[in-house]
Structure 1
Amino acid sequence: MPDSRDFVEIYTDGGCKPNPGPGGWAAILRFGSMEKELTGADRATTNNRMELTAACEALEALKRPCRVTLHTDSEYVRNGMERWIKGWVRNSWRNAAKEPVKNHELWQRLLAAAKPHEVEWRWVKGHSGHPMNERADVLATQARESLG
């Protein structure tokens, strides 16, 4: 069981312009007074893939089991982890329409990355002035723009 000292707050964002197209993602990890920023980009991707990648990279960066509050402005990510993923796994990565789940390899990666942790998935309305969400958005945009 994670110790109360091992609480990490994570803020993630990802996006593309246009969608699909070049994309960037970012994650900000806060542990006590320490902070770490992670970013990355992909020349050909989608908004959803960048949102998922941000969450994967953030959780994979943790070196031991932690209690985590992961803030995302993606209802796709939050609903996927809180509501849909158990059914997808049970149905061999098929959705309610019996079609293959989009981005299933990233969902599998996120499920594995979250497994050692106690994760609370918290949705934050994007572009609503939340300082950490706005910062993650700026970092993701900079990562995308760095592609040239």
Structure 2
Amino acid sequence: MKTAIKTPMERKQIKLFCDGSSLGNPGPGGYCGILQYGENERIIRGGEKMTTNNRMELKAVNESLKCLKVPCEIAIYSDSKYVCDGIGVWLAGWVKKDFAKVKNPDLWQEYLALSAPHQIQTHWIKGHSGHIQNERCDKIAKEEALQYKKESNG
């Protein structure tokens, strides 16, 4: 009797476009992540009343990763060198040094936990260069930041 050979399921191929914004840096901030899987798309957005641009850039990644329920192959597209280099270049060294003298260690540690089941590659894209998804993320992140600014001026 023959038995079928089971092969591991292929991981879903996800594209994550993300951006963050801060009015004043620090100031009211917003973030946006656009998750794409085939023809499906999900927009993740939010913000904080007092934050920095870098925190919002990384928050967009983390909040988007929280939406994924199975291990995936993720291509992150960001205009943030902080996010792209942080993930692709600096993170391993930060872990070895237990995040000593690293800004936003809480978000980087959260990223480590959220990214663990996934295979992730980052792709830096030039901001404000006409990249459709990056422009959408930028617009939504700024809308979120403005909303938090209005609420704090309320």
**TM-score bracket for the superposition, by shorter chain length:** over 0.9
- TM-score (normalizing by structure 1): 0.92
The residue that corresponds to 2:132 in the other structure is 131
1:78 aligns with 2:84: yes
Query: Is 2:56 aligned against 1:50?
Result: yes
User: How far off is 1:2 after superposition?
Assistant: 6.0
- Largest Rg, 1 or 2: 2
- Distance (Å, rounded) in 2 between the aligned partners of 1:145 and 1:106: 23
Letter matched to residue 3 of structure 1:
E
5+ residue gaps, structure 1, are 95-99
Secondary structure of 1:23 counterpart: strand
For structure 2, the residue ranges without an aligned partner over 5 or more in a row are: 1-7
Whether the 8 Å contact between 2:66 and 2:114 is mirrored in structure 1 is: yes
Q: Give me the TM-score of the superposition, normalised by structure 2.
A: 0.89
Q: Percent of aligned positions with the same letter in both sequences?
A: 42
RMSD: 1.1
Residue 7 of structure 1, CA deviation = 0.6
Q: Is the 8 A contact 1:16 1:46 kept in 2?
A: yes
Aligned to 1:11: 17
Aligned to 2:70: 64
Q: Residues 2 and 139 of structure 1: is their aligned pair in 2 closer, same or farther, counting only changes over 3 Å? A: farther
* Correspondence for 2:106: 105
d(CA) in 2 for partners of 1:92, 1:39: 30
How many Å apart are 1:28 and its aligned residue? 0.4
**How far apart, CA to CA, are the structure 2 residues paired with 1:143 and 1:85?**
28
**Matched residue of 2:86: which SS?**
helix
